[in-house]
């Protein structure tokens, strides 16, 4: 384990930015967000950014290709793939876990080469949560914020930042700034971890009833009449899906630019009435069906196909951002009791 005096934090960030593009969480007009590091950029003390760090690997809008049509001839031009190495600093344990879930989707066969390319060039530096909030429930999904993962994990006390490499990429990153770091015992961050654990013990929604969401209960949950009441106030605005670190739905659109066809990939939401709309119409015609689809996927369908891993990391963004206070916690509490 390594350590750094907090007064030297900007020196560390500047050194990381010398050979790679560096993104850090900083406060903006609407809250914390990731921005390109510039000398003197202050790190946000907010627990989490408004939007998750998944944008770095699965951006909201992505240029996929361009093609020209001349009669029966079609010429395809692939965009230049991003090849810059970059570092995302300050990622929380919940967002770090979300990358593992997205990997199951985009790195399974057939591999999504756009996502794969970004993952290959990115290095993740995580931060232990010093002050978890009442909307946090990551531990319900087996996430330990005192062991935040990523390529490099960091912890902080009143005077020092402690750093530990978890992967070869993380070790290479620390080797590049070794002149700023000093050796620290493996127990150096124990006090910081203990404070986080004490804060977690006082949070109201850590122990959620997840036992009833097994695949064997799929039909019982799907047909539960309580979906109508749970979804009654849903606006279908999609806010929950756009702040969620694990949502992976997208649409592909072609636009005639006048000089050829441009193909984009852009985020989509199962909460929208036109989501997966086909020539015959939409298979889910009511908001209750769309609401049910979102949470069935996160709590039943995804774990059934991914060794029991739920498609939620308990970051609490949907609790904070939903304009009518609908969220996955209410669904879990209503439907999560054992059914089989």
Tens of pLDDT, residue by residue over 146-187, are 999 999 999 999 999 999 999 999 999 999 999 999 999 999
| The predicted structure's pLDDT at residue 81 | 67
Q: Indicate the number of domains in the chain.
A: 2
Same domain, 228 and 308: yes
Same domain, 27 and 129: yes
**C-alpha span between 83 and 174 (Å, rounded):** 21
Q: Indicate the residue among 176, 201, 226 that finishes a domain.
A: 201
Question: Per residue in 43-95, pLDDT tens?
Answer: 998 999 999 999 999 999 998 888 887 777 888 887 766 678 999 999 999 99
List the domain range (segments joined by +) for residue 19: 2-201
| The predicted structure's pLDDT at residue 338 | 61
> 258 in the Ramachandran plot: left (φ > 0), alpha (ψ -120 to 50) or beta?
left
**C-alpha span between 222 and 219 (Å, rounded):** 5
CB atoms within 10 A of CB 45: 10
Residue 65 falls inside a structural domain: yes
- Say whether pLDDT at 339 is over 70: no
Residue 73's φ and ψ, nearest 5 degrees, are -90, 130
Order of strands across the sheet with 152-156? 31-36, 21-28, 86-91, 122-127, 152-156, 160-165, 2-5, 182-183
Work out the angle between the directed axes of helices 93-106 and 113-121 (0-180°, nearest 10).
Answer: 140
Residue 340 falls inside a structural domain: no
**Would you give the distance in Å from CA 6 to the centre of its chain?**
27
Same domain, 136 and 39: yes
- C-alpha separations of 187 from 60, 237, 333 in Å: 40, 46, 38
Same domain, 27 and 128: yes
Percent helix, percent strand, percent coil in the chain, to nearest 5: 35, 20, 45
Same domain, 194 and 247: no
Same domain, 144 and 262: no
Owner of token pair 């997208």: 250
Same domain, 149 and 294: no
- Say whether pLDDT at 129 is over 90: yes
**C-alpha span between 275 and 286 (Å, rounded):** 12
User: What does pLDDT average to over the chain?
Assistant: 92
Same domain, 149 and 180: yes
Residues in CB range of 295: below 8 A, 6 or more apart: 328, 331
Same domain, 264 and 185: no
On whether the CB atoms of residues 162 and 1 are closer than 8 A, the answer is yes
Q: Indicate the residue among 133, 166, 201 that finishes a domain.
A: 201
- Select from 297, 175, 303, 191 the least CA-distant residue to 244: 297
- Select from 307, 261, 273, 279 the least CA-distant residue to 101: 307
**C-alpha span between 49 and 197 (Å, rounded):** 21
* Largest CA-CA distance found in the chain, in angstroms, rounded: 70
Question: Per residue in 249-307, pLDDT tens?
Answer: 999 999 888 888 899 999 999 898 888 776 666 778 889 999 999 999 999 999 999 99
Between 258 and 116, where is the model more confident? 116
State the DSSP H helix or E strand holding residue 16, giving kind and residue range, or none if neither.
Answer: helix 9-19
Same domain, 197 and 215: no
């Amino acid at each position: 384990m390594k350590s750094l005096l907090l007064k030297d934090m900007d020196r560390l960030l500047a050194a990381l930015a010398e050979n790679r593009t560096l993104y850090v969480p900083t406060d903006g007009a609407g809250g914390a967000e990731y921005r390109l590091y510039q000398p003197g950029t202050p790190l946000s003390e907010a627990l989490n950014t408004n939007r998750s760090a998944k944008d770095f690997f699965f951006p909201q809008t992505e240029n996929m290709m361009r093609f020209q049509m001349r009669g029966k001839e079609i010429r395809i031009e692939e965009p230049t793939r991003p090849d810059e190495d970059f570092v995302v600093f300050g990622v929380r344990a919940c967002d770090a876990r979300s990358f593992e879930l997205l990997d199951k989707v985009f790195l399974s066969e057939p591999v999504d080469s756009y996502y794969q390319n970004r993952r290959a060039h990115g290095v993740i530096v995580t931060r232990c949560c010093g002050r978890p909030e009442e909307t946090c429930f990551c531990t319900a999904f087996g996430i330990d914020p005192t062991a935040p993962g990523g390529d490099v994990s960091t912890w902080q006390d009143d005077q020092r930042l402690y750093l530990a490499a978890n992967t070869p990429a993380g070790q290479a990153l620390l080797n590049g700034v070794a002149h700023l770091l000093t050796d620290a015992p493996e127990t150096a961050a124990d006090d910081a971890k203990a404070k986080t654990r004490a804060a977690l013990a006082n949070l109201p929604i850590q122990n959620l009833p997840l036992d009833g969401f097994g695949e064997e209960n799929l039909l019982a949950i799907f047909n539960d009449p309580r979906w109508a009441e749970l979804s009654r106030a849903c606006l279908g605005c999609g806010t929950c899906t756009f702040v969620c670190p694990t949502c992976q739905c997208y649409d592909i659109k072609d636009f005639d630019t006048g000089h050829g066809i441009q193909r984009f990939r852009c985020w989509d939401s199962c909460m929208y009435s036109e989501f997966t709309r086909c020539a015959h119409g939409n298979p889910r015609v009511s908001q209750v069906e769309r609401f049910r689809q979102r949470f069935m996927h996160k709590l039943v369908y995804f774990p059934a196909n991914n060794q029991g891993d739920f498609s939620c990391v308990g970051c609490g963004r949907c609790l904070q951002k939903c304009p009518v206070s609908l969220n996955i916690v209410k669904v879990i509490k209503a439907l999560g009791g054992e059914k089989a």
